[in-house]
Structure 1
Amino acid sequence: MHQGKRFAMWSIGLLVALALIFVVHLGTGFSEFSYMDLVRIIAGYGTEWQERIVFDFRMVRSVLAICIGAGLALSGAIFQTITRNELASPSVLGVNAGAGVAVMLYIYFEPANAITTIWKAPLFAIIGGGLVALLIFRMSYRKGLSLSPMTLILNGIALSAGIHAVQMVTMVTLSPDKFNQINTWLIGTIFGNSWNHVMVLAPIVAIGAIVLYCYSTKLNVLNLNEETAIGLGARITKERVTFLCIAVAIAASCIAVGGSIGFIGLVAPHIARRLVGVNHHYYLPVTLLLGALLLLSADWLGQVIIAPDEMLVGIIVALVGAPYFLYVLARTRG
């Protein structure tokens, strides 16, 4: 089948699936609403209590799951492109760890009575994730030699392990309230956010997605081997760093809001490549839709699997993502 037709088919299918899961997710919770009730409430005919549950709690959570899943997936796609390695993702390359330790230190040193703004956590996350990502690239770069994808992965894993050790040491000194806050955040959860978080995160993900899509041709060139890319006029190091910064900003902002959710940035791009190939004009939109669908589905599953209790979405993603990571690793080695 022609690549354009495959792209159209899968895009429509994923959009329909995302819309269906969105409705199912919206109807899931401690208070049960039928789908007719949901239509009535969304149309403005519900009680104040019903509208508050649907709009201020459930819909915020649904929209944020879509934004975070899409953002992490896009970021993972860019990491895999600039490293030309299927194992690359924000979690593997240290962005999750860097963003996590920056937000943890921000929470740790913030006075209990300090005025908190919605921008602080994303800003700290972007700084932390960016510094760690650039450090890993610097550690992996050797002048006159091509950037080894495997060296990049190994440095990312090693540095992430060291950062996690620092996090564990720091966490034992926290007060019980701050410990619970950081521990929940490190696992990953979308619950408890507001429309303010949506207003901060959605523009970052949307602008990042538009910019990346506009530069799809350059990303296609970077996906080639270095000799070919240079021959086509690509300034490889400069363009890698530029796209790295965009990917880190998107991923770190998502991590700041949803916590250290891993594997979405690994799984979604990998599946998208199998569905529509590596042409970024098709690859990026399908990756975005897959990431949104995967995280929204995982969050819904976390609400129903042990209902009426709830499992954090980071655990669900890890249960699915870890075996998939091992599969990709075995396939890569093979």
Structure 2
Amino acid sequence: MRNRTQKHPVRWTVILSGLFIIAVVTALSTGAAGLTVDRILPVLFGQGSPKETFVLFDLRMPRVAVLALAGVALSVSGSLLQTVTRNDLADPGIIGIHSGAGIAITVFYLFAGGNLPNYAFLLPAVGFAGAIATAALIWLFSMEKGRGIMPVRLLLVGIGFASALSGAMMILISGAERQDVLFIAEWLAGSVWGADWPFVLALLPWVVVLVPLVYFRSNTLNVLALAEPSAIGLGVRLARTRFLLLAAAVALAAAAVSITGYIAFIGLMAPHIARALAGPRHERFLPVAMLIGAVLLIAADTIGHALPAGFTVPAGIIVALIGAPYFLYLMRRG
């Protein structure tokens, strides 16, 4: 059965595209403000009430767009990290990249006095600066002379950096105002705080530019997945190629979490599930991974906002409840 599924990436792309549409429609029609499924198309074509128009265009559509873009960015980032580091457990959240972006966002938030919407287009760059510095340190401490990157050491060093930087974030806001503390707490929980159109436009260029570039390098990624002597024999400049692909992975993850907050495990789960469905070749499983990432994040946010009695759980926590057991399963599997 597994071999059959691996031969039909197009089938899974079509199925997941249908699931993506269902997830989007469900997200647009779920929430406290009344907007049912049968009213979405009329409102889209200008036949809705002012309240329905506001709810759809100003509240729900930008949020769903941010979730979809972030899901795509995180899934591609995780795919790159797993290939470049040869570590099946690599995820931008687990190995500390999210925390690097987070501490940069925290410093910028305190400097900007909380007026982050005024700096929406600058936030991904700020997050990238913090994340790339963190990634460079993790890479440095994970190297072993004569052997290169050690996958297990990378995971442990990344977890150590993530814990240390999360603690540093708490220290930075220990004497801050209550609203600043609440913002950082929401960011750490993955509350998808940047859910307005300016944040969609801030995230969009990073995804539109970097994701096609990564997909264009699918053959290179396939070669990197081979043993190092084979990759060198096929003409791949390992150091330069790994650096560029790692930078792309960091940029995608940082841009996403600078808008959504701390969302872990999407970059871990989506590539693994996609490989199981579409096979190991990157040109086949990357589109599937993107759809899985988008569906998972939209579904997690929808579930978090559809709980009874007005109780809301951030998307990051819902994803963690799914992803943590999956992470343990992968470790158990070896």
If the length of structure 1 is used for normalisation, what is the TM-score? 0.95
CA distance in 2, matches of 1:247, 1:287: 14
> Which range is displaced more, 188-197 or 297-306?
188-197
Distance 1:243 1:47, change over 3 A: same
Distance 1:92 1:191, change over 3 A: closer
CA distance in 1, matches of 2:115, 2:226: 52
CA distance in 2, matches of 1:164, 1:183: 11
CA distance in 1, matches of 2:297, 2:271: 13
Determine the structure 2 residue equivalent to 1:121.
Answer: 123
CA distance in 1, matches of 2:308, 2:253: 29
1:69 to 51, 68, 71: 71
> Which range is displaced more, 75-84 or 305-314?
305-314
Q: Which runs of 5+ in 1 are unaligned?
A: none
1:38 to 37, 40, 50: 40
Task: Provide runs of 4+ in structure 1 moved above 4 Å.
Answer: 1-5, 112-115
User: For residues 29-85 of structure 1, what are the alpha-carbon distances to aligned partners after superposition, in whole Å with 9 as ceiling and x for unaligned?
Assistant: 112222221121111101222111101101111111111111111100000000111
Contact (CA 8 Å) 2:7, 2:278: kept in 1 or not?
A: no
State the one-letter code of the partner of 2:302. W
CA distance in 1, matches of 2:14, 2:106: 40
Equivalent positions of 1:1-334 (< 5 A) are 5-111=7-113, 116-191=118-193, 193-332=195-334
CA distance in 1, matches of 2:223, 2:103: 34
State the one-letter code of the partner of 1:10. W
Distance 1:61 1:323, change over 3 A: same
User: For residues 196-232 of structure 1, what are the alpha-carbon distances to aligned partners after superposition, in whole Å with 9 as ceiling and x for unaligned?
Assistant: 1111112211211100010000000111111211111
State the one-letter code of the partner of 1:271. I
State the one-letter code of the partner of 2:274. A
CA distance in 2, matches of 1:305, 1:317: 15
State the one-letter code of the partner of 1:75. S
Contact (CA 8 Å) 2:266, 2:297: kept in 1 or not?
A: yes
Distance 1:113 1:251, change over 3 A: closer
Q: Which runs of 5+ in 2 are unaligned?
A: none
Contact (CA 8 Å) 1:61, 1:191: kept in 2 or not?
A: no
Contact (CA 8 Å) 2:121, 2:198: kept in 1 or not?
A: no
CA distance in 1, matches of 2:184, 2:111: 13
Distance 1:307 1:300, change over 3 A: farther
User: For residues 273-311 of structure 1, what are the alpha-carbon distances to aligned partners after superposition, in whole Å with 9 as ceiling and x for unaligned?
Assistant: 111121001111111111001001111111112452321
The alpha-carbon deviation at position 5 of structure 1 amounts to 4.8
Query: Aligned residue pairs: how many?
Result: 332
CA distance in 2, matches of 1:113, 1:153: 35
CA distance in 2, matches of 1:237, 1:113: 40
State the one-letter code of the partner of 2:198. N
Distance 1:89 1:113, change over 3 A: closer
CA distance in 2, matches of 1:190, 1:75: 18
CA distance in 1, matches of 2:143, 2:317: 34
Distance 1:165 1:3, change over 3 A: same
If the length of structure 2 is used for normalisation, what is the TM-score? 0.95
Contact (CA 8 Å) 2:144, 2:150: kept in 1 or not?
A: no
